């Protein structure tokens, strides 16, 4: 399930948007991330080629099983690390930004060890 940070961010964004909206389109992703629609279109093409998403003829974007697995993993890391840093006294804005960077580089082994060691209330 190897991926890169940009792809992971797009997949996580699709997941988050799908929780808020009945359908996700490229324009929704562009708005959410503050990117140009043309940049998002290129990214969606790459994700489609890697079979992480599929796009309907109407332009609705859905995660495939592999895309869902990556998005779930990144989202879980993001949520957990943000909450942990906030509990440590880090400003919530900084905690969220730092969690976004950490979530892409931490190994599964280290993340699992941190989760086992820390109890978030």
Return the pLDDT at 2: 47
Which residues neighbour 6 within 8 Å (Cβ) at sequence distance 6 or greater? Answer: 43
Q: How many residues does the chain have?
A: 121
Looking at the fold, whether 23 and 48 belong to one and the same domain comes out as: yes
Q: How far is CA 93 from CA 38, 50, 61, 107, in A?
A: 28, 32, 29, 24
CB 37 within 8 A of CB 27: yes
Looking at the fold, whether 33 and 53 belong to one and the same domain comes out as: yes
Looking at the fold, whether 55 and 12 belong to one and the same domain comes out as: yes
How many domains does the chain contain in total?
A: 2
Looking at the fold, whether 84 and 112 belong to one and the same domain comes out as: yes
The burial class, CB within 10 Å (0-12 / 13-18 / 19+), for 64 is middle
Domain with 9 in it: 5-69
Looking at the fold, whether 10 and 60 belong to one and the same domain comes out as: yes
> Beta-strand (E) ranges in 1-121?
53-55, 61-63
Looking at the fold, whether 86 and 52 belong to one and the same domain comes out as: no
Return the pLDDT at 120: 63
Return the pLDDT at 1: 42
Tokens of 94: 């900084």
Looking at the fold, whether 88 and 109 belong to one and the same domain comes out as: yes
Neighbours of 86 (CB within 10 A): 17
User: Could you say which residues of the chain have pLDDT below 50?
Assistant: 1-2
Return the pLDDT at 20: 95
Q: Give the domain CATH number at 41.
A: 1.10.10.10
Looking at the fold, whether 12 and 43 belong to one and the same domain comes out as: yes
Looking at the fold, whether 57 and 84 belong to one and the same domain comes out as: no
Which domain-ending residue is among 32, 47, 69? 69
Return the pLDDT at 44: 96
Looking at the fold, whether 61 and 95 belong to one and the same domain comes out as: no
């Amino acid at each position: 399930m190897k991926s890169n940070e940009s792809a992971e961010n797009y997949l996580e964004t699709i997941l988050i948007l799908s929780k808020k909206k009945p359908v996700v389109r490229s324009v929704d992703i562009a708005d959410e991330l503050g990117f140009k629609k043309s940049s998002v279109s290129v990214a969606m093409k790459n994700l489609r080629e890697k079979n992480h998403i599929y796009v309907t003829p109407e332009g609705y974007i859905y995660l495939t099983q592999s895309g869902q697995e990556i998005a779930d993993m990144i989202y879980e890391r993001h949520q957990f690390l943000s909450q942990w840093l906030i509990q440590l006294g880090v400003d919530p804005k900084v905690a969220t930004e730092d969690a976004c960077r950490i979530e892409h580089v931490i190994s599964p082994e280290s993340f699992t060890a941190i989760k086992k060691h820390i109890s978030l209330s």
